[in-house]
Amino acid sequence: MALIFQRLARNFIKNGYFPTDETTIERLLAMFDVKPGKVRLIDPCCGEGIALAECANYLHTLNVDTFSAGIEYEAERALNAKTLLDHVVHSDIQDCVVSSGQFNLLWLNPPYGDRITDQVYRDRSSAGRDRLEKYFLSRTLPMLHFGGLLIYIIPHYVLDKHLARQLVRSLDELSCYRLPEERFKQVVVIGHRRRTDGQASAALVNHLIAIANDRDLAPLLPEIPDRLYAIPVVTTAMENKTLEIRSSRPTLEQVEEVSRQHPCLWTDFAQHFKQRSVVKRRPARALSDWHLALMLAAGQVSGVVTSAGGRKLLVKGGTHKEKESSLEITENEDGTVEETRVLTDRFVPIIKAIDVEPTSAEFGQVFTIR
């Protein structure tokens, strides 16, 4: 079987990017055992999306309805992945929010190397060497549904006793193969996520540690599969739960993209909020000066007014509340005096006006009418 995305297929190192080679993808796909239904796939380090797109395409040939999601930090690769996958988030994994237990397949080929953090140095004996491969596994394994399939591609020397124990405790039907591509010294760990951490089999842990020291101890990923791995389908409980995969720190480009796709409600504002046009009716009789002043102060009348002498003012009225303080003195029967301070709300009308007559000497000046 040949890749359908050969034009994009590459295998090179760039900013910690180690894409999965064609031969490895083909042999891993041959190990999949899936029934017709719906399957959710996720690759938290999807690069250009080729590996996960190949998975989705292969499952389509088996009459499986797929939803493929990816996360990618590098902008250009994320842009390419969006053309191949159903949903791609351009973000750092640390800034992503992803629903737990909502994916049936986790394809994890993380960045390789030591983590550089601003955290205080911790005792390495507690969790071994702090590497990106370990961090990404801990960060993304909760995304996988219990019983879901993990494909974990890492350099063989990362398998220290701490990572080996974590994998053996977390996975059922665990197996480890060395990849046919030799340049990056990779192995692939395959297994189903276990519902509860089990006892770490000493023999299996020691086997993984031995592979860390000698990659040739791992069997070669076979061209003809020596076993099959079931991929569960989406359950009703999963369907009823909201699927969320997003960045908590969107970039400016992401905001612009979303705003273009979803221009909010402004174009349909009247329809959604059921606004009706207001018909302005003239009063039944001429308003007195008192009525006009009151309407101005309440902000119900505004605009340009012209005096009899031709002066033009742009007026806008409003009202604000002020506290008025008064002191009440009371003399008691025993001759003592009590003072009581009383605060009273007072509504003060105010009218602002701007001289808008260009020929006026006061053109542009703001007046306050009280």
Digit-coded pLDDT (tens) for 193-236: 998 776 778 899 999 999 999 999 999 999 999 999 999 999 99
For residues 333 and 219, which has the higher predicted lDDT (pLDDT)? 219
d(C-alpha 146, C-alpha 101), whole Å: 7
Q: Which residue has the tokens 């299996």?
A: 204
Predicted confidence at residue 177, as pLDDT, reads 97
Residue 119 pLDDT > 60: no
Mean predicted confidence (pLDDT) in 277-292: 75
Average pLDDT over residues 117-132: 60
Residue 337 is predicted with a pLDDT of: 72
Contact 154, 133 (CB under 8 A): yes
Task: Identify the band that residue 274 occupies on the pLDDT scale cut at 50, 70 and 90.
Answer: low
Q: In degrees, to the nearest 5, what angle opens at C-alpha 40 toward C-alphas 36 and 46?
A: 130
Question: In this structure, how many other beta carbons lie within 10 angstroms of the beta carbon of residue 46?
Answer: 30
* Single-letter amino acid code for the residue at 166: Q
Pick from 133-137, 193-197, 219-223, 339-343: least confident: 339-343
Residue whose structure tokens are 């842990």: 205
Q: Region 312-331: what's the mean pLDDT?
A: 78
3-class DSSP state for residue 175?
strand
Average pLDDT value for residue range 113-127: 57
3 pLDDT above the threshold of 50: no
Per-residue pLDDT at 273 exceeds 80: no
- The confidence score (pLDDT) of residue 121 equals 47
- Residue 12 confidence (pLDDT): 42
Q: With 80 as the cut, is the pLDDT of residue 264 above it?
A: no
Band (pLDDT 50/70/90 cuts) for residue 281 is confident
| 22 closest CA partner among 36, 37, 6, 38 | 6
Mean pLDDT for all residues in the chain:
83
Q: C-alpha distances in angstroms, 213 versus 115, 160, 228? A: 21, 9, 27
Let me know: does 172 contact 191? Beta carbons within 8 Å.
yes
Burial 52-91 (b: 16+ CB within 10 A, else e): bbbbbbbbeeeebebbbbbbbbbeebbebbbebbbebbbb
Q: Report the first-to-last Cα separation within the chain, whole angstroms.
A: 86
Of 114, 176, 108, 172, which is closest to residue 138 (Cα–Cα)? 108
**Average confidence (pLDDT) over 5-32:** 69
